[in-house]
């Protein structure tokens, strides 16, 4: 061994002993399972009642076998899926990486995160109850929760369950959350859609939806045409109208008021007054939206005012961003700390 090499090795070993490398931060584990939904059986869209569900298990789950964990049920947005959010497909977010980056940070505690795949024939269930798409409210709030409690080390009580979601998932969060305070104690909405009847007022998209006649044509449609079809399937089902089994809000370009009213009746700001007592049973409510998210930001401000008028404690913030570019950061800096503070840990 040359003198130069000996010197190099000595310097390397000395540096290693004096300045040891930092251990890599622990990461969680992802599992993907199938969960059968009895409530989804027989849906007229013929979507499978066996749903993919992605599950994030925090780093200590594998090593601390006696420990039990709170669960955050996270609902993805329209046209998205659990596989996209959990990094199985290239997407604008990779949830496990987002969560792993802040594990161990002050104010963030370990939770199990569960996301069902709600992508349907029409690219989204709206997390609603309909003969056409199935009873997604029951599936999420009862059957999925029961499965997770049976198969994972959860703390099986409402105080240890949170519900959150982005866009369509944010809508699903408040829709389900204000009906099931006995199941979920805290809710966090990320840029929630569909809160105002104005959100469904794209007349051009409604007229284009009329021209869709076959199942094969669905995948060729634009986002807003798909949203019209998905909303009608969820909120205006019609078992006598194959192949889509829904009433569209327009016919020959003219708005059908009866159908439009059915769809508007599902907007959060229309129905919220009937759910005030249950909203007051929740331990904590929070929501946020990017300032560039236009109509969603306007509706979110209205929701903030309604909750304020009813003296319902909540947190609301408008931040710099659009519909998606701030979501990963908000999960890290707001959503996870929110549930770490408000859920009951073992």
> Rounded CA gap, 255 and 268, in Å?
21
Closest CA to 109 of 66, 82, 71: 71
Q: Which two tokens stand for residue 76?
A: 């993805």
> Rounded CA gap, 315 and 201, in Å?
28
Look at 163-172, 195-204, 240-249 and tell me which has the smallest mean pLDDT: 195-204
Q: Coil, strand or helix: which one is 99?
A: helix
pLDDT band at 199 (very low <50, low <70, confident <90, very high): low
pLDDT band at 205 (very low <50, low <70, confident <90, very high): confident
Read off the pLDDT of residues 25-46 as tens digits, 9 standing for 90 and up.
789 999 999 999 999 999 999 9
pTM here?
A: 0.92
- Amino acid 23: pLDDT: 47
pLDDT band at 180 (very low <50, low <70, confident <90, very high): very high
Contact 141, 71 (CB under 8 A): no
Angle at 185 between CA 98 and CA 190, to 5 degrees: 40
Look at 140-149, 186-195, 225-234, 249-258 and tell me which has the smallest mean pLDDT: 249-258
Q: Which two tokens stand for residue 263?
A: 């769809």
């Amino acid at each position: 061994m040359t003198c130069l090499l000996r010197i190099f090795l000595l310097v390397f070993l000395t540096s290693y002993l004096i300045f040891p490398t930092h251990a890599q931060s622990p990461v969680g584990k992802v599992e993907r399972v199938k969960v059968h939904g009895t409530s989804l059986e027989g849906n007229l869209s013929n979507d499978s009642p066996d749903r993919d569900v992605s599950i994030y298990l925090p780093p200590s789950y594998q090593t601390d076998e006696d420990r039990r964990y709170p669960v955050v049920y996270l609902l993805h947005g329209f046209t998205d899926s659990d596989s996209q959010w959990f990094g199985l497909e290239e997407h604008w977010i990779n949830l496990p990486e987002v969560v792993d980056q802040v594990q161990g940070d002050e104010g963030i505690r370990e939770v199990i995160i569960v996301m069902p795949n709600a992508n349907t024939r029409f690219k989204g269930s709206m997390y609603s109850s309909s003969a056409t798409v199935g009873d997604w409210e029951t599936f999420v709030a009862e059957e999925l929760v029961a499965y997770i409690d049976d198969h994972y080390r959860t703390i099986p009580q409402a105080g240890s369950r949170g519900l959150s979601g982005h866009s369509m998932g944010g809508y699903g969060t408040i829709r389900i959350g204000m009906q099931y305070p006995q199941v979920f104690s805290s809710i966090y909405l990320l840029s929630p859609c569909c809160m105002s009847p104005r959100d469904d007022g794209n007349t051009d998209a409604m007229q284009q939806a009329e021209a869709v006649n076959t199942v094969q044509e669905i995948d060729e449609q634009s986002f807003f045409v798909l949203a019209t079809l998905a909303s009608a399937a969820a909120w205006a089902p019609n078992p006598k109208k194959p192949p889509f089994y829904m009433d569209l809000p327009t016919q020959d370009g003219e708005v059908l008021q009866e159908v439009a009213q059915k769809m508007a009746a599902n907007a959060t700001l229309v129905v919220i007054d009937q759910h005030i007592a249950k909203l007051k049973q929740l331990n904590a409510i929070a929501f946020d939206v990017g300032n560039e998210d236009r109509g969603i930001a306007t509706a979110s401000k209205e929701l903030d005012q309604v909750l304020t008028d009813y003296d319902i404690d909540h947190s609301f913030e408008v931040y710099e961003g659009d519909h998606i570019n701030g979501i990963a950061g908000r999960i890290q800096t707001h959503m996870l700390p929110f549930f770490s503070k408000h859920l009951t840990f073992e």
